[in-house]
Amino acid sequence: MLKIRQRDVSLAIALSLAFVGGFLDIYTYIARGKVFANTQTGNLVLLGKFATEGNVRKVVYYVVSILAFTLGIVLAKVVEHVYVQNNEFLWYHVTIGIEIALVLVVMWLPSGQKYDVLANILISFVCAIQVQSFRKVNGIGYSTAMFTGNVKNASERFCEYFLSKDKKALQDGMVYLALIISFVIGAAVGTIFTKMYKTKAVGVTSVLLFLVFLLLFYEDAAGKAC
């Protein structure tokens, strides 16, 4: 029974983080200069474009964004290394706490080009921490921010099921589908809130991240009881 509950909590955490990923992506697009801060593929493409055009200001901006994402990955890895043996709390709690703090900073940054640049850099940092900290749900790999891989994995699992009738493949496919839907819902809700509350809308994600913070305690307790 506890195993089932732990799996349910793990899925709830993953769905919440996927929602946050969708919300943050549309938030930076609508309120912070039409930028998708979650994934760095577009930044790398635009870096190449502006480098060939000799636009130094844009090159510096995209280099800084990519470095912020890289530093987020490094920080999450360092936190994991330092706190992985801690019995008081999970290392994920540290990274979630950092995410909440940075999201609240972004919430109070006013609009305007220089502030939007800083906001996008901080959101990139937050997304990197989240991507590195939460990589598996119920035994399968996933991403909370970069969804091309999730779409690919969902397609692959459903195809496996139709070819082999493997129920595990169907279950995994449904998990990926739920994550994709949660991401889209996060983007939809993010659109509504961002149009209503502008730059302050990002504060909504801090509430969900705090919920994840609490759910992690229950997931850990359920896992230890198994």
Note the pLDDT of residue 222: 65
CA distances from 81 to 38, 102, 116, 157 (A): 24, 21, 32, 32
Rounded to an integer, what distance in angstroms lies between the CA atom of residue 84 and that of residue 78? 10
Q: Which two tokens stand for residue 113?
A: 């080009």
- Domains in the chain and their CATH numbers? 2-225 (1.20.1250)
Which residues have a Cβ under 8 Å from the Cβ of 134 and sit 6 or more positions away? 13, 14, 17, 92, 144
> What mean pLDDT value characterizes the chain?
90
Note the pLDDT of residue 71: 95
Does the pTM of the predicted model rise above 0.95?
Answer: no
Q: Which two tokens stand for residue 8?
A: 């349910």
Mean pLDDT by 10 residues, the chain (226 residues): 68 96 94 82 87 91 89 94 76 94 97 91 94 91 90 97 95 97 97 97 97 88 61
Which residues have a Cβ under 8 Å from the Cβ of 176 and sit 6 or more positions away? 140, 142, 150, 151, 153, 154, 157
DSSP annotation of 109: S
**pLDDT tens digits, one per residue of 152-187:** 999 999 999 999 999 999 999 999 999 999 999 999
